[in-house]
Amino acid sequence: MATKTIKLEIPFQKLLNVVDQLTPEERIVLKKKLEKEKATTWQERFGKALRYLGKKNVRFSEQEVAEDVKRAIAEVRSLEKD
């Protein structure tokens, strides 16, 4: 099934009014959806990104990736000192 992203601009109070009209089951579904997309710490986001990249780049060894990560961290830290 193709997905399409749309942007809605509605007042927050109107959104709350709509949520108030949901059935208990619909509220549970909404809560689960929101929890999936809740704000996370940078460590959690970084871990998620690594897992995603790991699935996409299985042809690279763990050692190669670890070396790349070390180099990237060193590069970022060296920029902070300037």
Residue 39 pLDDT: 65
Kindly tell me the sign of the dihedral angle through the C-alpha atoms of 6, 8, 12, 14: negative
| Whether pLDDT at 80 is above 90 | no
Other Cβ atoms within 10 Å of 44 Cβ, number: 11
pLDDT tens digits, residue range 25-62? 999 998 888 877 776 788 887 888 888 887 887 888 88
